[in-house]
Structure 1
Amino acid sequence: MSHLFRCLLFALLAIAASSVRSQDGEYSELFDALKPGLFTVEVVDRISNNKNGIGSAFAVGPDGRLATNYHVVSEFVIDPERYALRYRDAAGASGPLEVLDVDVLHDLALVRMAGDRTAEPEPFALAAEAPRDGATVLALGNPYDIGISIVPGTYNGLLANQYRKNIHFTGALNPGMSGGPAVNVLGEVVGINVAGAGNSVSFLVPVDNLVRLIDRAPDRPPALADLRRDIPSRILAHQDAMLDDLLAGDWTPEPFGPLRIPREIRPWMSCTGGGREPMEELPWRESRSNCTLNDRIYLSRTLDTGPLEILVAWYASDSLNDWQISRVFEQNSFLAFNRTGEDDVTEFQCTEDWTAPASLAPVPFKATYCARSYADYPGLYDVLFVTRAQRRGGEAVYIHYTLAGVGREQARSFHVRLMGSIEWNS
């Protein structure tokens, strides 16, 4: 190594070390400045007076207004007789919280510190524009209730495969940080911590959704029953708009075995597939196409809604007879695509019929159409559909979809559009 090269290398290392020290100092000073506006939200079981769950929050306005996630406060909103809400600031002072408004579609809540408090926290500034992709973003919150922390990471823009766009954040969001702010290097909020997927893959709610919630929130806390009553209509309006957008998408059918089917109808629909050739113990070919919108709306610890799934598959065999091939594909069972508890929804009510959609005639299909309603969210339904058919020559196909949290009319419009877009390949 030449003397000149060594000198250049040492100079570059010195510059890098100086930059790191400067950056560390900048983050440290920013953390100190923002910390007084950061809070822990505690969901308290009234019987035991113990914490049942925690999240984070941050100051956003006058009169002790704080922003957090809906999923942080949802148990209180759903069952205030059993749970209470309280805050704890960075200095350890605590008190009760009241809920001003919620946005379940974007997992946000606006709460307010109630009762006496020693000081009014300085509100966080909300960024007027998004950072550039690759910019540094700092997430703040209380991971695992070990104390307010700062997590540097990277802003990666909005997720393409979501209808409701969240921000992809490369940084470790851990339980307890939900509802905390993610800020740019100026300390302006660009997003709200919402979820982590491990390996530093995390997600933020864009701050413009919070701005809209703040603008519409009332000055006084409404009755929680009124908040709950508004949730189904807001979900239905969102789901109607999503399905309208989907129905207006590209339904051009593409070859798929004996069929022609639509695939990625919209950019926010993600399609995968697979198949295999016959084996001695499994003497049939099969192929699957699975298109999903795995975009879930949190309602409670046991219930979410919003996703949809479209699954098409075919089987073919040169050695199995018609009865044997029917036994192969009739073993498939189908479940709803969303998470529910036993008290959250009714049982599926199903109808069965032999039918031949015009685009698939004259082959008869055996179709099962099922729907269930939500116990606490009137007007919302989950729909499950499957139809199967066999053709001569050891070939069989099935078509399946599930919709979660939709109205009956929109579900019917989706059904007609999907079945009318699938046709025989020859």
Structure 2
Amino acid sequence: GKPAPAVPTPNVPRLPVAPPAQSGPQGPQGAPAPMPGLPQQVPDQPGTAASQAQANAPVSASARRLYDRSRAQLLQVRTLFNGSQASVGSGFVVSAEGHVITNYHVVSQHALEPERYRLQYQTPEGDGGDLELLDFDARRDLALLRIVGKSPAAARMTATPLVFRKAEQPLSKGERIYSMGNPHDVAFAVVEGTYNGLVERSFDPLIYYSGSINPGMSGGPVIDEDGEIVGINVSTMIFAQQMSFLVPAQYANALLQRSRQAAPMKGAAWPRLREQLMAYQEELSRNFLAQPWRTLTHPRYRFPIPQEQYMRCWGSGTPTDAQGLQMQRTQCRMEHALFINETLQTGYLGVTEEVYDGSKLGALRFSTVYSASFRNERLGAADKDRTAPYCKENFVQQSDGPPLRAVACLRAYRKLDGLVDLTVLVTNVDSATEGALGRFEARGVSFANATQLTRHYLQGFAWTR
């Protein structure tokens, strides 16, 4: 039969925190492979054309000025396990009391397992110390830390903290902005790029930045020509050039104002994480349920295709294969997911519709192919984050639609009580040589919203009038 397509992963992944520096050419067993395309540097010989060109290369006066002005507030955020680096990211000082902004995914190991992981910082000059976690915003992938203790290094960083650009002074598309951080645990760096407005069709605002940010720069500041914070490094587009994404600075400022007087977090952050995810899924589900379905063009059926308000849809068709089968596929998916830990991202919706025409096969051969396509849909298995799927199957007959065979499956989150992953598989059973196979997915929703989303999806199947 036709194999079911793999569900597309979000095209905007979180920047992975950089692994610690490797001690040998291949690093320790299990260490991530180097990023594709990372060049191996070979020193030029004095007097060669290459070295002369490098010497004559123009240096951005603005980038140099802004980095020199801001470097005292930059720091590398290190997660330690048994005294050794488990991962590294970046951060920056935003108050005289030593508050530090970074990404949630940079400190997630410590947040979820504080008894095993601890946080430290290091400055561009090599000074360091401890950090404590005050609060986080998992939806925006932000965390608020504070420097522990007083030292000459801490005094230098907090003397002139970075400030946020005023919300009433928005950037214009094309303005130069500057990303800072410590890529791949190599050295602190500044990357000059361009502000290109907000990402279209995104549920939450995300800045599109034309500049190359790399693992290890996660959580670093992005500043304007005046040295004021406009965004925070967070993610990049896979297999693209200079397509990076930033959290708007207003959300980091809101986290600072909300929690600057907070006491350090004690114990694992699962209860607070659950509270934030429950609020997010409620808003996401409510917005999605309020949208009417679009539909594919078909002489017999209406199929539920979501609006592209905060989803992207791709369509494809296959020519008649050797057996005489034709198929048309539409896939829609939110491209932004919420980071929980290294193995789990959640908080998104997806829809896939496949339409089959087997009139040239005949009823028996079409039934064989069509049934195989339904059977090979993967539903996941138990893992450390979620249970195995629990499924219910039934035949559904609606007043305005064809008879359907439907399977609904839930996978519960082990440490986020009340949240589940929903998968709904649907196929029509009214025609001997025509069929439709639909798949709806909702990651990280409540049982009540899973029920409403299932009903909403099933009601999207109807006869064509």
Q: Give the TM-score normalised by structure 2.
A: 0.81
Give 1:398 deviation, angstroms. 1.6
Whichever residue aligns with residue 321 of structure 1, its letter is G
Q: Deviations over 1:332-385 (max 9, x none)?
A: 333469xx9811001110111122233324x3x221110011111111110011
Give 1:257 deviation, angstroms. 5.4
Q: Deviations over 1:185-241 (max 9, x none)?
A: 111111000012241111100111111111211524343437431211211111111
- 1:210 paired with 2:210, answer no
Q: Deviations over 1:124-154 (max 9, x none)?
A: 1101133111111100000111111000011
Tell me the equivalent position of 2:15: none
Contact 1:381 1:407 (C-alpha < 8 Å) held by counterparts:
yes
Contact 2:382 2:388 (C-alpha < 8 Å) held by counterparts:
no
Q: Which has the higher strand share?
A: 1
Tell me the equivalent position of 1:219: 261
- 1:334 paired with 2:406, answer no
Q: CA RMSD in A?
A: 2.0
Which of residues 33, 55, 67 is equivalent to 2:69?
Answer: 33
- 1:304 paired with 2:345, answer yes
List aligned pairs for 1:1-400, cutoff 5 A: 24-46=60-82, 49-118=83-152, 119-121=155-157, 122-128=160-166, 129-197=169-237, 198-225=240-267, 227-256=269-298, 258-279=300-321, 281-332=322-373, 333-335=376-378, 342-361=383-402, 363=403, 365-400=404-439
Output the CA distance in 1 between the equivalents of 2:102 and 2:265.
19
Point out the more displaced range, 287-296 or 368-377: 287-296
In structure 2, the residue corresponding to 1:283 is in which secondary structure? coil
Which of residues 383, 392, 415 is equivalent to 2:454?
Answer: 415
Aligned residues: 399
Larger RCO of the pair (alpha carbons < 8 Å, separation 6+): 2
Point out the more displaced range, 214-223 or 394-403: 214-223
Aligned-residue sequence identity (percent) comes to 28
Q: Deviations over 1:93-149 (max 9, x none)?
A: 101110010011010000011123211422111011331111111000001111110
Point out the more displaced range, 308-317 or 319-328: 319-328
Output the CA distance in 1 between the equivalents of 2:145 and 2:318.
53
Contact 1:336 1:402 (C-alpha < 8 Å) held by counterparts:
no
Point out the more displaced range, 267-276 or 386-395: 386-395
Output the CA distance in 1 between the equivalents of 2:191 and 2:274.
35
Give unmatched runs, 5+ long, in structure 1: 1-19
Point out the more displaced range, 231-240 or 391-400: 391-400
Contact 1:98 1:221 (C-alpha < 8 Å) held by counterparts:
no
Contact 1:253 1:422 (C-alpha < 8 Å) held by counterparts:
no
Whichever residue aligns with residue 214 of structure 1, its letter is L
Q: Give the TM-score normalised by structure 1.
A: 0.89
Tell me the equivalent position of 2:36: none
Give 1:326 deviation, angstroms. 2.6
Output the CA distance in 2 between the equivalents of 1:336 and 1:216.
40
Output the CA distance in 1 between the equivalents of 2:183 and 2:367.
52
Whichever residue aligns with residue 315 of structure 1, its letter is Y
CA 1:400 to 1:26, structure 2 compared with 1: closer, same or farther past 3 Å? closer
Contact 1:162 1:294 (C-alpha < 8 Å) held by counterparts:
yes
Whichever residue aligns with residue 102 of structure 2, its letter is T
In structure 2, the residue corresponding to 1:106 is in which secondary structure? coil
Whichever residue aligns with residue 267 of structure 1, its letter is Q
Whichever residue aligns with residue 286 of structure 1, its letter is M
Output the CA distance in 1 between the equivalents of 2:336 and 2:398.
30
Output the CA distance in 1 between the equivalents of 2:99 and 2:172.
29
CA 1:242 to 1:256, structure 2 compared with 1: closer, same or farther past 3 Å? farther
Output the CA distance in 2 between the equivalents of 1:32 and 1:218.
27
Point out the more displaced range, 318-327 or 218-227: 218-227
Point out the more displaced range, 235-244 or 37-46: 235-244
Give 1:254 deviation, angstroms. 4.9
Whichever residue aligns with residue 318 of structure 2, its letter is R
Whichever residue aligns with residue 430 of structure 2, its letter is R
In structure 2, the residue corresponding to 1:72 is in which secondary structure? helix
Tell me the equivalent position of 2:50: none
Tell me the equivalent position of 1:3: none
Output the CA distance in 1 between the equivalents of 2:106 and 2:100.
13
Give 1:264 deviation, angstroms. 4.3
Q: Deviations over 1:278-317 (max 9, x none)?
A: 13x2311111121111220000001110121111111112
Q: Deviations over 1:238-271 (max 9, x none)?
A: 1111121122224254524532234342421211
Output the CA distance in 2 between the equivalents of 1:206 and 1:136.
15
Contact 2:72 2:156 (C-alpha < 8 Å) held by counterparts:
no
Whichever residue aligns with residue 181 of structure 2, its letter is G
Q: Which has the higher helix share?
A: 1
Whichever residue aligns with residue 207 of structure 1, its letter is A
Output the CA distance in 2 between the equivalents of 1:393 and 1:369.
24
Contact 1:77 1:224 (C-alpha < 8 Å) held by counterparts:
no
Q: Deviations over 1:68-91 (max 9, x none)?
A: 000000001111122111000111
Contact 1:85 1:97 (C-alpha < 8 Å) held by counterparts:
yes
